[in-house]
Amino acid sequence: MTRALVAARLEPARAAFAAVLRRGLVAWLLALPLALVAARAGSTAAAGASAGGLAVLWLHLPGVLLALAAIVATVDAWPLFGRDREGGALVRRLRRTSLDGCGMAAAGGTVAAAVLLTAAGASFAVACRAFLDLEAPHTFVRVAAAPPSPALDARRDRMVLRGDGTVADAVRLNPLVAWAPGTLFVPVELDVTVDGVRVGRGCRVSGNGEQIVLPLPTPRAVHTLELARVGAATLTLLFPAGSVELRAEAPRSLAMNMALAAACYASPALLALLAAATLRRVLGSPALLTFAVATFAILALVELGPESPALTAGARGRWILGEPLAWRPTVLAALALTAAAAVGPKLAVVGPFRKRRTTRT
């Protein structure tokens, strides 16, 4: 294939890329100050709450707006998105591929969105550091619990976990708590020892969601971690996978972390555009645009992609490339089933009527 033909194939991506950069920049310039002001106001209004946790809510705003701008600009830029678009006949003649160039346009728009989202996330992080005191992210390494069961209760008050020698500067515990109704509620106290050095004594745990972060006296390679339940507690502590972690010593770039987290928003935008591409010849452009935006909103809300957990992890000071972030295909299957359940009965009712109308002579 010659370079000219390759360029011809890439032209829809180029058109969408330029359009998204142009429009996305406007969305970014609008969203960024708004998000910063809101994050600042929210963090100062909520006494005792985590500034990072509140800021992450507002980091969604530039992400969502930029992704939406990318969807709108891409659909608008490529005239074969939608039936009976202005000039569609001319372009369709020149672009005879399976998706009429809409797939390539979706890719170009998404790349532009990712570029803008990355820049938006990085600039937001820089601003957040100045305004909200976000901490630099670290890589967290999971420590595997020893068999047979990762629990501390009245029968088993000691647990040893194996580290992989990661040079860490802190230990993070996030256990689950079980309490048998009818018994006295006595919180658990934990002693934590790292390679024979006690780093925590009598740490109280009384409910789920309580996080214990124990800094090590000096950063060190961790090989064993011992948890001991002390006192006369009635609660049981459970340590599922990921509930005991070591914080790696070297901090990572906050800007890079937030940029990567924001860039994750490009994935639901891409899915929404590809879904719109499949209906390009069925729906007119306003209906197709509505469909794409609605698809994006649903995908973002159900957290099919990693964008929301990535932003949360970023705001909690976790290096997101070290996080087990993944797509959740089961959510997609559930979505498809829900859509089928919602649309199927309607089609069953409306279909025969339409058929009768079309066959009338």
Partner 1 sequence: MFAAPHDSIASSASLPAARERVQLTIEVDDLAVCYRSFGSEPVTALADFSLRVPAGEILGVLGPNGSGKSSLLGVLAGSLVGSQGRVRVLGRNPTDPTLLREVGFQAEGPLPFRTCTPQAFLVRVAALCGIPRRRSRARVEALLAQVDLGAVASKRTVANLSTGMARRLALAAALLVDPRVLLLDEPTSGLDPEGSLLVMDLLRARAEAGGTVVIASHHLQEIEQTCTRVVMLAGGRKAAEGTLDQLLGTEEDELVVAGLDDDRMARVCTTIADLGGRVVRTQRRREHLFALFRRLRRGAT
Separation CA 142–CA 248 (nearest Å): 11
| Footprint (CB under 8 A) of partner 1, residues 1-20 | 2-5, 7-8, 11, 14-15, 19
**Is 100 or 245 the residue whose CB approaches partner 1 more closely?**
100
CB of 73 to partner 1, least distance (A): 10
Site for partner 1 in 78-107 (CB under 8 A): 79, 85-96
Among 156, 201, 223, 354, binds partner 1 (CB under 8 A): 354
Scan for tokens 């159900």, then name that residue: 302
Closest CA to 298 of 318, 275, 326, 316: 275
**How many residues of this chain interact with partner 1, rule: CB under 8 A?**
27
Distance CA 275, CA 65 (A): 19
Smallest distance, partner 1 to C-beta of residue 53, A: 41
Q: Does 356 bind partner 1 (CB under 8 A)?
A: no
- Quick one: how many helices (H) and strands (E) in the chain? 9, 11
Q: Does 358 bind partner 1 (CB under 8 A)?
A: yes
Q: How far is the CB of 115 from partner 1 (least distance, A)?
A: 20
Q: Does 284 bind partner 1 (CB under 8 A)?
A: no
85 versus 318: smaller Cβ distance to partner 1: 85
Closest to partner 1 by CB, 243 vs 285, is 285
Residue keyed to tokens 């340590």: 239
What strand order describes the sheet that includes 158-162?
Answer: 158-162, 224-230, 188-194, 197-205
Nearest approach in angstroms of CB 87 to partner 1 is 3
**In the bound complex, what is the minimum distance in angstroms from residue 103's beta carbon to partner 1?**
15
Window 19-38: residues binding partner 1 (CB under 8 A): 19
Nearer to partner 1, 32 or 91 (CB): 91
CA–CA distance, 308 with 267 (Å, rounded to integer): 11
Residue (47 or 94) nearer to partner 1, CB: 94
Q: How far is the CB of 62 from partner 1 (least distance, A)?
A: 24
> What's the closest the beta carbon of residue 124 comes to partner 1, in angstroms?
29
How far apart are the C-alpha atoms of 48 and 57, rounded to whole Å?
16
Cβ distance to partner 1 smaller for residue 87 or 182: 87
Helix/strand/coil for 163: coil
Measured CA distances, 259 to 62, 121, 238, 255, 316 (Å)? 12, 4, 34, 6, 14
3-state secondary structure of 316: coil
Phi-psi region of 84 (alpha: psi -120 to 50; beta: other; left: phi over 0): left
Task: Name which of 204 and 355 has its Cβ closer to partner 1.
Answer: 355
- Per CB under 8 A, contacts with partner 1 among 44-83 are 77, 79
CB 59 within 8 A of CB 261: yes
Closest separation between CB of residue 3 and partner 1, Å? 7
Distance (Å, rounded) from C-alpha 247 to C-alpha 169? 6
* C-beta of 78 vs 239, nearer to partner 1: 78
Q: Is the dihedral of CA 127, 132, 136, 141 positive or negative?
A: negative
Q: Are 12 and 73 in contact (CB under 8 A)?
A: no
Chain contacts with partner 1 (rule: CB under 8 A): 2-5, 7-8, 11, 14-15, 19, 77, 79, 85-96, 354, 357-358
